């Protein structure tokens, strides 16, 4: 949907720089998704699910241990820069 709205540019630019999002449209979409996620969490916290609702919310075939065992762990350690090979020269 296309619409015209006033948006605080400082906030929008801050969101884009903090998240690495490249376009204003993506930043606004991200912000709407975050607002929806937080509102959903707030609603669940106000009206907690019954045990039956919680059971129905999770696929019975979901097996976290199998998923963990089937994937390669992600490394968050940055790769070291390649060393330059070649003779060292002295500057005398």
pLDDT tens, 8-43?
999 999 999 999 999 999 999 999 999 999 998 898
**pLDDT at 37 (0 to 100):** 93
pLDDT tens, 59-78?
888 888 888 888 776 677 77
Tokens 């449209």 locate to: 25
What tokens does 72 get?
């390669």
**pLDDT at 82 (0 to 100):** 56
pLDDT mean across residues, the chain: 84
Q: How many CB atoms lie within 10 A of CB 27?
A: 21
């Amino acid at each position: 949907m296309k619409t015209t709205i006033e948006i605080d540019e400082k906030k929008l630019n801050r969101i884009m720089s903090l998240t690495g999002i490249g376009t204003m449209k993506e930043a606004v979409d991200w912000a709407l998704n975050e607002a929806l996620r937080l509102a959903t969490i707030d609603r669940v916290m106000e009206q907690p699910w019954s045990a039956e609702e919680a059971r129905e919310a999770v696929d019975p075939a979901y097996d976290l241990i199998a998923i963990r065992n089937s994937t390669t762990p992600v490394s968050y350690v940055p790769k070291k820069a390649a060393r330059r090979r070649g003779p060292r020269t002295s500057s005398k």
